[in-house]
Amino acid sequence: MAYYTNIEEVTDTFTIGKRIREKRKDKGFSQEKLADLLMIKQTTLSKYENDEHDIPIAVLSAVAKYLDTTPSYLVWGSAEDEGWLSELRMIAGSIRNPMVRETALKQMLALAWMDENM
């Protein structure tokens, strides 16, 4: 178990971008390969990995799928399981801003449709 001496050390270690990078490297993917799979620019993926841009839920879900993990792991670092779509619903349920929550739910419905039809 790691012990941290200050909050910067903790927040620097546990970010969505760092977990994406770690999982991408574990999978043996280059940024270019994962970006191609996601149909985004390599520079965009780099910005996600460096926590310079917020990652949309639809992209987060696709990243999780390609990296054989869950959105919940990428966001919180929690244990992985097979219920990635239900975890997205839980994430959306925790969003307090009604407009942002509505947008997130629409994206999740689109993802559910894509998952069933592709």
Q: Domains of the chain, with CATH numbers?
A: 7-117 (1.10.260.40)
The radius of gyration computed from the CA coordinates of the chain, to the nearest angstrom, equals 15
**Whole-number Å distance between alpha carbons of 41 and 36:** 7
Q: Are 71 and 84 in contact (CB under 8 A)?
A: yes
Tracing tokens 């191609």 back to the chain, one arrives at 36
Q: What pTM, to 2 d.p., does this model score?
A: 0.60
65 vs 5, more confident: 65
Encode pLDDT of 45-97 as tens digits: 999 999 898 899 889 989 999 998 888 788 877 655 456 666 666 676 677 78
What is the pLDDT, as a whole number, of residue 85? 61
